Amino acid sequence: MDKYPSQLLSRAVEEFGKLPGVGSKTALRLVLHMLRQEKDRVQSFADAITHLCNEVKYCLVCHNISDHDICTICSDPRRDATTVCVVENIQDVMAIEHTQSYHGLYHVLGGVISPMEGVGPSDLQIQSLVDRVGEGVVKEVILALSPTMEGDTTNFYIFRKLADADVVISVIARGIAQNDELQYTDEITLGRSIINRTPFKK
């Protein structure tokens, strides 16, 4: 007997098992869950995935996922079009939106420069950022990339690319996180948090 009693089952488990973080046992559990569903619910599941992948659009301005050519953030007149926050991916946009602390626009790079993974500047939306800044509306570019070597490399690359442009370039603050314990914070973060200390606000 093969591992699974049916080829159809085996194929479905294999497909589910390709998802990140899903092993063969979880895949089997998910597939058997699908099997217990009504057929139209399964169809609806399959349709949602294929529709998304076939019809997905990316905002022509910020490259965030969007249902239209221009996303809801870029087309919102209440948002501050003079500020652009550069992020790696759409999860980061959602995370920053969730804070309700930012009212400018975004620019989704689609990753960071990573020679190890074969990602160069041309694979990212860096030139389109330079072009966007060149249009003259943007006054500040906030770099909000991962605090990693790749993120820092990308920050520096963008900084150099925008060196001649008339914009303020800032980087999101790095320091100790809310509720972190000082004694367990790594040296680089703790060192930076002292160097970049901010005036105490009463």
SS3 content of the chain, % helix, strand, coil (to 5): 45, 15, 40
Residue 55 binding a second copy, by CB under 8 A: yes
Closest approach, Cβ 199 to a second copy, in A, equals 32
Residue 45 binding a second copy, by CB under 8 A: yes
One-letter amino acid for residue 108 of the chain: V
Measure Cα distances from 76 to 18, 73, 116, 121 in Å: 38, 5, 38, 29
Q: What residues does 168 pair with on adjacent strands? A: 140
Closest approach, Cβ 191 to a second copy, in A, equals 31
Residue 73 binding a second copy, by CB under 8 A: yes
Q: Which of 60, 69, 82, 94 binds a second copy (CB under 8 A)?
A: 94
Closest alpha carbon to 73 in 49, 51, 56, 90: 90
Residue 138 binding a second copy, by CB under 8 A: no
Interhelix angle 24-36/7-17, rounded to 10 degrees, is 120
Closest approach, Cβ 166 to a second copy, in A, equals 29
Q: Contact positions toward a second copy, by CB under 8 A? A: 1-9, 11-12, 14-16, 18-22, 26, 28-35, 37, 39, 42-57, 64-67, 71-73, 76, 89-91, 93-94, 97
